[in-house]
Structure 1
């Protein structure tokens, strides 16, 4: 790969990432959320109650970040933490009714964000795009695709 193409590719990925996060923040702000918090709520919505270590692994972030997010979301009434019966040091995180309603709203906003992001792309590319992006994400993580 030549330097010009590599530079253009890396710049496009960087700008997409920054602009996507900025637009996500604009959509989440009226809900009282910051980027990252929605991922935690959607993960619990998708999988059911989890302990904070499991959430950290699923979200790909450090445990202190999950702890901070859960404290803020619990204070807002969107989640509840209860002691993990199998590990006295851990907490199980579950959605409250407010959190479930918020997760439903976030899901709607994510459709809007996805539609905005891919507007104008050809249908054949749209079909392949999630797989391509997942491969790129795996490549950057340094993990094997297996």
Structure 2
């Protein structure tokens, strides 16, 4: 008799919550009148948290293709919210920065995020939220370690060919 998957297993619950949270955020941004698409809003906030990072790193952290990010960056740059600067360590690479004119927009996006999270976490106390946050950060760190091990293993396999 095959083992049936449990829809309430931690992995399934995490995936469901992440998908639903992203969808709710995208609906809020789409209806907030900010003049950005949800993808552009996510990109702008991520750039603000990774100020001065390379495009490739931002794309990886967002879990999107570099070409998709490039489209978002082109639009955000044309609106004057970000700038691309040459990387002094690698002239082929660009470092991404927010501009001062992005400040108010980032604050508005953050307000939408905060209000959404207040609804999502309704009925959960601060101590519980701190515990959830702490455990989620541990899961993230464990997943990063797995990715790094996988990358190291892939590199070793490539060199061995």
What TM-score do the two structures reach when normalised by structure 2? Answer: 0.69
**Distance across 1 between alignment mates of 2:140 and 2:121:** 18
Aligned residues: 144
Instruction: List runs of 5+ in structure 1 lacking aligned partners.
Output: none
Instruction: List runs of 5+ in structure 2 lacking aligned partners.
Output: 148-161
Equivalent position of 2:22 in the other structure: 21
Secondary structure of 2:116's match?
helix
**Distance across 2 between alignment mates of 1:15 and 1:96:** 35
1:107-146 correspondence to structure 2 within 5 Å: 107-137=110-140, 143=146
8 Å CA contact 1:21–1:35 kept in 2: the answer is no
Q: What's the CA shift for 1:112?
A: 0.9
| Cα distance, 1:85–1:123 mapped onto 2, change above 3 Å | closer
Aligned match for 1:54, one of 51, 54, 57 = 57
Secondary structure of 1:31's match?
coil
**Distance across 1 between alignment mates of 2:4 and 2:131:** 26
| Cα distance, 1:90–1:16 mapped onto 2, change above 3 Å | same
Matched, 1:72 2:75: yes
8 Å CA contact 1:45–1:100 kept in 2: the answer is no
Secondary structure of 2:96's match?
strand
Aligned match for 2:38, one of 35, 38, 41 = 35
Structure with the greater alpha carbon radius of gyration: 2
What TM-score do the two structures reach when normalised by structure 1? Answer: 0.75
- Aligned residues: CA RMSD: 3.0
